Chain A
Amino acid sequence: MRRRTFIHRYRHQYLMLLPGLVLGGMFVFYPIVAAVFFAMQDWSGFNADKVFVGFANFTRLMSDPFFWAAFSRSLVFLLGTVPIQMILGLVLAVILNDRLLKLSNLFRTFIFLPVVTPVAVIGIVWTFMLSPFNGPINGFLLDIGLIARPVDFLGSSDTVMPSVIGVYVWKWLGITVIYWLAALQTVPSDVYEAARLDNCKGARLIWYVILPIVAPFAVMILLISAVAALNVFPLIMSMTNGGPFFASEVMEIFVYRKAFATGDGSIPELGYAAAAGVFFGLVVLALTLLQAVIARRTRRGQTA
């Protein structure tokens, strides 16, 4: 009776929640379940010949050097992008947070503008920018005499990952700055006054005053940036297609290549690709859960 009464009392609220639940079920829950199901099949994805193989795909995955190489590159990408975003974002945020700074809003806009530009457009434009033939970056480097021959940034395994990392940081730096700006709003103004009285400014201000206060947010921003850095399919696909010779093949590209075997003479292996996707998804999920745990602790700390 009590349960029935509760449901009845909030029946309108539940009815309002139903569309969201249905959509979530269709586009989030079902694909997750389907992916796990496919991960246990030996299946090309495009015919009726499905064979249940249990965890064989995962077992194979563990001994696949190409999978681990792609996984490693994803980690390299993460380690290459997140620290730069964090540090550079914090510095820019502190600078832009100075209310006395002229035109700070204009600079904020310029920094944030790449964030709202579609990734595919960014990829195409930067491919042109980095081109060794008529690309402005190579043109500039040649003009100042720093290099004698154009550098194929995206076509060399030595330079492709740094190049893609650089473009990624440039694109998403703005949102990191926004996160930091939000965090900086929690620093009381009297702290700045006290610091000024003590002649504490610049790097010392950031390190000794601001950073301890915003440290809890730093962890949050770190994890958000880390999860985002593990989802870079459109940028790398539009710039390098995972090449040259696997040099920029991160996990999403590996999954895509295995799933669709686009024109290289291989047979699509959707089941195996699903296994790779599930495994990688679990890694990202672990990071997300870690984020949630830390968020909870942060709130508890604030309450105390």
Chain B
Amino acid sequence: MSITRMRGLSRRHFLQSSTAGAAALGLGAGFGLGPAMAQGIPAAINDIASGASLRWIDSGDQKAVFYRQFFAEYAQARGVEIIYDPLPWNEIAQVVPLGVRNDTAHDVFALPQNINPADAVAQDWVQPYDDFIPDIEAWKAGFPQGAFLPGINEFDGKTYGLPFTSNKRYGTHLLFNRAYMEAAGYAPEDQPLTWSGFRDAARKITEAGAGRYYGFIIGGSQLGRWAQTVRNMGRMAGASAGGDSVVEADIDFRTGEYVFDSDEYIGAVELLIAMQADGSIFPGVMSMNAPQARAFMPQGAAGMILQGPWNIGGWEGEHPDYDFGVASGPVPDEGPTGKLTIGQGALAPNTMFMYKNSPNGAIVGDIFHYLGTLEGQTAWANIVGAGDPPIFPEALEHADMSDRSKFALNMFNEQIRVGPNPVVGNSDIAQVIGAFQAPEVNFARTVQGLVAGELTGVREQMSALKDRYNAALDAAFAEAGAAGAQVDRSDLVFSNWNPDVDFGASDY
């Protein structure tokens, strides 16, 4: 601890000296090092033409805090213009495809959530960046194992997409109002809430609130929140399911079957319904999205929310007086807590791709290279923290983070395992993913409908849901097969998978 503090003090001293030095050199008041940047912008790895303009689009949130600062300094250092567009996912779903179709796409973009990398490559949306990072293999070797995977971000030996943030996080851990929670008699940081504890705490907080605040809040009009909540509660209760794509996220890789009708998933839905009946869920959740729900927490309108670590930095920065805690998502009342499974080391939604016709490869390569170094990763971690953890574990050791962020990251490492990825096992599975059309009443809508009371009979509905997904999956396999893919549902079975340990490359 003291060493860390000393290092921090040294860093601040260095920054002061650098700033003073810059002033002494008469570089003007506009020049300066960002407070969280370790060493400013390093030397370029490519020849970059002055005056070029680069456009970058992603989903923003806490990432935007870093990028705005970084791009401002980078643009100044390189003599280029960078236009940064942080947009919500539903807008990315429109802007990126339309840009590609009209040949006006951003130079660098995050893929829409329903477009997988294989499709993007096959449809000529993106280009590799191997030619824009000298000795790229040496650079890639600096990433942790599993960051680059064939079928994920490597195609035909070329590198697509920058996997610079870690997937070892989940978006349904508990964030709570500490005062309300203490009054309810719980300490989730010390003892994770069980399902019954979660319900009881919500009820007690609601009673204490007397209409002024409620136990639990969720952005219910954002359908995915329902699916993620049930999925992760179910997984932690013992329904082993893994993967990141909509195709595999609810499949037990030991059997290749969906787990929608498992006792764990059904129990999670029933718990939410019970809490709704208790009156413990904030009224109005059906018409608010996740950012709106998040905004209510620092206002004291609710005691608990199941969301992700991106809230930590935001709340600490914008609501410094808000005393909140971070803890595990609800765990089962009995038995061991199951692990959460991810399909790859890098977070897919954050993976950045270069547009097929971008003329700015030199700039893109330069930025990608920086983000894939310990220096860049540490700078990222200093600002973004636990919200989107850097993929380099070493960066976490160097970064300045709050206690809450450190707690969250340690919790993630304990609770999350890398599972099998069917695309790595058989790259043709990407075509199945691309062909998969979720049922009209999908998992998320089903849960929303059940909690809202529009649907009744949890077990029956979840069983019907499984049937619908099986039909959709079979149709996807058939379509992919008709298009020439060599696939079979057995490609979703990994009999040697143990959910409690990481599935390594040698396990395929």
Contact A263 to B454, CB < 8 A, known contacts A133-B296, A240-B287 = no
Contact B284 A133 (CB under 8 A): yes
Q: Binary interface profile of B, 36-55, with partner A (CB < 8 Å = 1, else 0)? A: 00000000000000000000
Interface assignment of A174: CB less than 8 Å from any CB of chain B? no
Interface assignment of A132: CB less than 8 Å from any CB of chain B? yes
Contact A244 to B286, CB < 8 A, known contacts A260-B93, A261-B93 = yes
Q: How far is the CA of A239 from the CA of B437 in the complex (A)?
A: 27
Contact B284 A149 (CB under 8 A): no
Nearest 10 Cβ contacts at the A-B interface: A155-B286, A46-B97, A132-B283, A265-B246, A154-B287, A262-B90, A265-B438, A244-B286, A245-B449, A245-B454
Contact A157 to B114, CB < 8 A, known contacts A152-B286, A265-B438, A266-B437 = no
Q: Return the contact of A244 from the options B123, B301, B452 (Cβ within 8 A).
A: B452
Q: Which residues of A contact B436 (CB under 8 A)?
A: 265, 267
Q: Which residues of A contact B438 (CB under 8 A)?
A: 264-266
Contact A157 to B100, CB < 8 A, known contacts A132-B283, A260-B94 = no
Q: Which residues of A contact B97 (CB under 8 A)?
A: 45-46, 268
Contact A243 B221 (CB under 8 A): yes
Q: Which of B129-181 contact A (CB under 8 A)?
A: none
Q: Which of B432-467 contact A (CB under 8 A)?
A: 434-438, 440, 442, 444-445, 448-449, 452, 454-455
Contact A66 to B90, CB < 8 A, known contacts A132-B284, A154-B286 = no
Q: Which of B74-107 contact A (CB under 8 A)?
A: 89-90, 93-94, 97-98, 100-101
Contact B283 A265 (CB under 8 A): no
Interface assignment of B256: CB less than 8 Å from any CB of chain A? no
Contact A263 to B445, CB < 8 A, known contacts A46-B101, A243-B221 = no
| A-B pairs with beta carbons under 8 Å apart, 26 shown | A45-B97, A45-B101, A47-B123, A66-B440, A152-B286, A154-B287, A155-B285, A155-B287, A155-B452, A156-B286, A157-B454, A239-B287, A240-B221, A244-B286, A245-B445, A245-B448, A245-B455, A260-B93, A261-B93, A262-B89, A263-B89, A263-B224, A265-B442, A267-B434, A267-B437, A268-B114
Q: Which residues of B contact A48 (CB under 8 A)?
A: 123
B442 to chain A, nearest CB (A): 6
Contact B113 A263 (CB under 8 A): yes
Q: How far is the CA of A135 from the CA of B287 in the complex (A)?
A: 13
Interface assignment of B308: CB less than 8 Å from any CB of chain A? no
Interface assignment of A167: CB less than 8 Å from any CB of chain B? no
Interface assignment of A241: CB less than 8 Å from any CB of chain B? yes
Contact A131 to B224, CB < 8 A, known contacts A157-B454, A261-B93, A264-B444 = no
Q: How far is the CA of A48 from the CA of B440 in the complex (A)?
A: 25
Contact A133 to B282, CB < 8 A, known contacts A46-B100, A264-B444 = yes
Q: How far is the CA of A150 from the CA of B301 in the complex (A)?
A: 14
Interface secondary structure of A, over-half rule: loop
Q: How far is the CA of A90 from the CA of B296 in the complex (A)?
A: 43
Interface assignment of A210: CB less than 8 Å from any CB of chain B? no
Count of interface residues, chain A, beta-carbon cutoff 8 Å = 36
Q: Which residues of A contact B94 (CB under 8 A)?
A: 260, 262
Interface assignment of A247: CB less than 8 Å from any CB of chain B? yes
Interface assignment of A85: CB less than 8 Å from any CB of chain B? no
The number of chain B residues touching the other chain, given as a range, is 35 or more
Q: Which residues of B contact A245 (CB under 8 A)?
A: 445, 448-449, 452, 454-455
Q: Which residues of A contact B60 (CB under 8 A)?
A: none
Scoring A133, A155, A157, A260 by chain B CB atoms within 10 A of each residue's CB, the highest score goes to A133
Q: Which of A256-287 contact B (CB under 8 A)?
A: 260-268
Interface assignment of A127: CB less than 8 Å from any CB of chain B? yes
Q: Return the contact of A264 from the options B101, B435, B442, B454 (Cβ within 8 A).
A: B442
Closest residue on chain B to residue A66 by CB atoms: B440
Q: A45-B97, A133-B296 are in contact. List 10 more A-B contacts (CB 8 A).
A: A66-B440, A127-B287, A132-B284, A244-B220, A247-B454, A260-B93, A263-B112, A265-B438, A265-B444, A267-B114
Q: Which residues of B contact A155 (CB under 8 A)?
A: 220-221, 283-287, 452
Q: How far is the CA of A241 from the CA of B145 in the complex (A)?
A: 41
A273 to chain B, nearest CB (A): 13
Interface assignment of B279: CB less than 8 Å from any CB of chain A? yes
Q: How far is the CA of A262 from the CA of B90 in the complex (A)?
A: 5
Interface assignment of B208: CB less than 8 Å from any CB of chain A? no
Q: How far is the CA of A262 from the CA of B223 in the complex (A)?
A: 10
B56 to chain A, nearest CB (A): 20
Q: How far is the CA of A245 from the CA of B449 in the complex (A)?
A: 6
Q: Which residues of B contact A262 (CB under 8 A)?
A: 89-90, 93-94
Q: Binary interface profile of B, 293-331, with partner A (CB < 8 Å = 1, else 0)? A: 000100001000000000000000000000000000000
Q: Which residues of A contact B448 (CB under 8 A)?
A: 243-245
Q: Which residues of B contact A263 (CB under 8 A)?
A: 89-90, 93, 112-114, 224
Q: Binary interface profile of B, 52-68, with partner A (CB < 8 Å = 1, else 0)? A: 00000000000000000
Q: Return the contact of A149 from the options B246, B279, B449 (Cβ within 8 A).
A: B279
Q: How far is the CA of A265 from the CA of B435 in the complex (A)?
A: 11
Q: Which residues of B contact A243 (CB under 8 A)?
A: 221, 286-287, 448
Q: Which residues of A contact B224 (CB under 8 A)?
A: 263-264
Q: How far is the CA of A230 from the CA of B301 in the complex (A)?
A: 37
Q: How far is the CA of A160 from the CA of B221 in the complex (A)?
A: 13
Contact B283 A149 (CB under 8 A): yes
Contact A265 B114 (CB under 8 A): yes
Q: Which of B221-255 contact A (CB under 8 A)?
A: 221, 223-224, 246
Q: Return the contact of A152 from the options B284, B296, B445, B455 (Cβ within 8 A).
A: B284
Q: Which residues of B contact A247 (CB under 8 A)?
A: 454
Q: How far is the CA of A246 from the CA of B446 in the complex (A)?
A: 11
Q: How far is the CA of A181 from the CA of B328 in the complex (A)?
A: 63
Q: Which of B107-127 contact A (CB under 8 A)?
A: 112-115, 119, 123
Q: Which residues of B contact A66 (CB under 8 A)?
A: 440
Q: How far is the CA of A85 from the CA of B36 in the complex (A)?
A: 58
Contact A266 B114 (CB under 8 A): yes
